[in-house]
Amino acid sequence: MFSRATRAITGIASSLSVTACSVFGSAAAPEPDYIVILSEPPFEVRDYGELVVAKTAMADGSRAAFSRLFNYISGANTGGSDIAMTAPVLNTDNSDGSKIAMTAPVLQSGEGGREMLFVLPDNMTLEAAPAPTDSAVTLDTIGPRRVAVVQYSGFMARNATAEETRLRDWMARKNLTAQGSADVAGYNPPWTLPPLRRNEVLIPIDAK
C-alpha cells in the first residue's frame, strides 16, 4: 500500500526490520511497495496493495512470537528454506527449498488479539509461500487499503499511544475517517540505537 513500506500495530505491526540492519539504523531489507497520496511530514496517506504475511499470536509475549516467525523464514517450513541475515536475498522461489527474502516491517496486530506478522516478498503469493511447520504460525493476506501514517523514532511500543493520538488529531484536521484499528510498524532490529529507529503508526482510512 505505498512506495516501499507497510503495516504495523496495535493492528498489524510491531515491525522490527530484522535483516541487514545495523545499530546505526540502516536497513537494506526490501519493503512492500506503496503509493503516497498525501505527504505532510511526519504524516502521510498511502495506498498499499495486497500483502502476504506470516503471523502468530502474542499471548506468550513478543519475543516468543518473533522467534516463531523468524524460525519460519529460517527454515521451519515445508520448503526447508533459509533466509540470509544480509540483504538482498535474491532467490524467492521456495518450491525447491530456496531462500525466502526478508522484508520490512515486521507487523504486530491488535485485531482479534495481538499478533505479530512478517510481510513476505512482493512476488510471493499465498499459494506459493511454503507452509509453516509450526502450527502456531499461519499464512494470511492483508487486502489493499489506504492508510494514514505518522513516522517517529525512539521506542516503538513506548511511544505508540502518543503517536496514535497525534495521528488522529492530524486526520481530524484533514477530515480523514478511520476504517479500522491502529497498527504499529517497526523497521529496524532491536539493537538499532533508539534515536535512529524508524517506527510508524498506521490507521486504515476511507479511500474516498
With helix as H, strand as E and coil as C, how does 92-145 read? CCCCCCCCCCCCCCEEEECCCCCEEEEECCCCCCCCCCCCECCCCEEEEEECCE
- Residue range 11-48, pLDDT digits in tens: 333 333 333 334 445 544 678 889 999 999 999 999 99
Helices of type H across 3-74:
62-73
pLDDT band at 171 (very low <50, low <70, confident <90, very high): very high
Enter the C-alpha cell of residue 195.
Answer: 534515536
Burial class (CB in 10 A: 0-12, 13-18, 19+), 169: exposed
Q: Which CATH class is domain 34-205?
A: alpha beta
- DSSP lists the bridge partners of residue 115 as 57, 109
- Residue range 49-82, pLDDT digits in tens: 998 888 888 888 878 888 898 899 889 998 887 5
Using DSSP's 3-state secondary structure scheme, residue 174 falls into: coil
- State the pLDDT at residue 114: 79
Q: How many CA atoms lie within 13 A of 60 on its CB side?
A: 8
Instruction: Tell which residue, 3, 155, 19, has the closest CA to residue 84.
Output: 19
- What is the domain partition of the chain in residue ranges? 34-205
Burial class (CB in 10 A: 0-12, 13-18, 19+), 202: buried
Using DSSP's 3-state secondary structure scheme, residue 69 falls into: helix
d(CA 89, CA 72): 16
Using DSSP's 3-state secondary structure scheme, residue 24 falls into: coil
Rounded to the nearest 10 degrees, how much is the dihedral formed by the CA atoms of 18, 126, 141, 10? -30
- State the pLDDT at residue 105: 63
Q: Say how far residue 157 (Cα) sits from the centre of its chain.
A: 14
Cβ atoms of residues 21 and 120 within 8 Å = no
Task: Name residues whose C-beta falls within 8 Å of residue 194's C-beta, 6 or more positions apart in sequence.
Answer: 153, 154, 155
pLDDT band at 101 (very low <50, low <70, confident <90, very high): low
